[in-house]
């Protein structure tokens, strides 16, 4: 979550464990990542319905001017402090206005409350990667737009959670994140043809006229 690309990649792994899925029509294969300079990070184009989408669709991050990595850092700070961090401090750490920090607090608290009784499937929050990755080991991090701003923000963020971040707060963060995200889209089993074959088979067995023993009835 040290920059936008890292945050988007992390979300994509959680929401789309089997690869990208069009947020509009569910297309899973005829998709392309948009890498133009003017396109937002994480933008995809669906060649099924011809609409663009990102992994932020259907989440509280959608339609927000606040970058995803800022949302994730806010979520970590809020969960690790049991939502006791003040808007002023949050704004300072994240490099946003106090009003934006306050809005992030309210939106995250509201969304978590709404999902309080959500899925407690431990599969959902099982970490697929460590929460904190080292940007120094990411060759692309330095070439991203706004890299210096992101690096300075991440430094303030790490300082703010110094002495606060533990395995428990990591877990709380992941649980909270999973409550804010749609359930992961089940990965397709093998190539599309294989899946279709399986469905056909299942169809045969669920159709009583095709069950074994047909023709032997008295």
Name the residues that contact Zn ion, by CB under 5 A: 22, 24-25, 27, 46, 48-49
Q: Supply the minimum distance, in Å, between the C-beta of residue 51 and Zn ion.
A: 6
Q: What share of the chain is helix, strand, coil (3-state, %, to 5)?
A: 50, 5, 50
Nearest Cα to 29, choosing from 208, 188, 149, 156? 188
Between 39 and 81, name the residue whose CB sits nearer to Zn ion. Answer: 39
State which residue, 48 or 95, has the beta carbon closest to Zn ion.
Answer: 48
Nearest distance in Å: CB 54, Zn ion:
13
Q: Between 62 and 126, name the residue whose CB sits nearer to Zn ion.
A: 62
Min dist. Cβ of residue 71 to Zn ion (A): 25
Tell which residue, 58, 72, 64, 57, has the closest CA to residue 150: 72
Which residue bears the tokens 């690096």?
A: 151
Closest distance of CB 189 from Zn ion, Å: 21
Residues 144, 155: Cα–Cα separation, whole Å: 17
Of 4 and 27, CB closest to Zn ion = 27
Distance CA 5, CA 38 (A): 14
Strands across the sheet containing 44-46: 31-33, 44-46, 52-53
Which lies closer to Zn ion via its Cβ, residue 33 or residue 214? 33
Q: Please, what is the minimum distance in Å from the beta carbon of residue 55 to Zn ion?
A: 14
């Amino acid at each position: 979550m040290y920059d936008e690309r890292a945050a988007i990649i992390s979300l994509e792994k959680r929401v789309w464990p089997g690869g990208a899925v069009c947020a509009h029509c569910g297309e899973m294969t005829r998709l392309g990542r948009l890498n133009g300079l003017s396109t937002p990070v994480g933008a995809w184009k669906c060649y099924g319905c011809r609409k663009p989408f990102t992994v932020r669709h259907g989440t509280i991050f959608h339609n927000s001017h606040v970058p995803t990595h800022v949302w994730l850092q806010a979520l970590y700070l809020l969960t690790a402090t049991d939502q006791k961090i003040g808007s002023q401090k949050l704004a300072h750490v994240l490099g946003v206005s106090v009003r934006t920090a306050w809005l992030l607090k309210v939106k995250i608290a509201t969304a978590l409350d709404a999902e309080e009784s959500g899925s407690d499937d431990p599969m959902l929050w099982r970490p697929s990667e460590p929460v904190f990755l080292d940007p120094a080991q990411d060759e692309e991090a330095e070439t991203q737009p706004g890299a210096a701003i992101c690096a300075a923000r991440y430094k303030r963020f790490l300082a703010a959670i110094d002495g606060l971040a533990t395995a428990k707060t990591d877990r709380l963060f992941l649980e909270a994140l999973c409550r804010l995200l749609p359930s992961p889209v089940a990965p397709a089993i093998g190539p599309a043809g294989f899946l279709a074959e399986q469905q056909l088979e299942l169809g045969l067995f669920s159709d009583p006229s095709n069950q074994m023993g047909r023709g032997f009835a008295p």
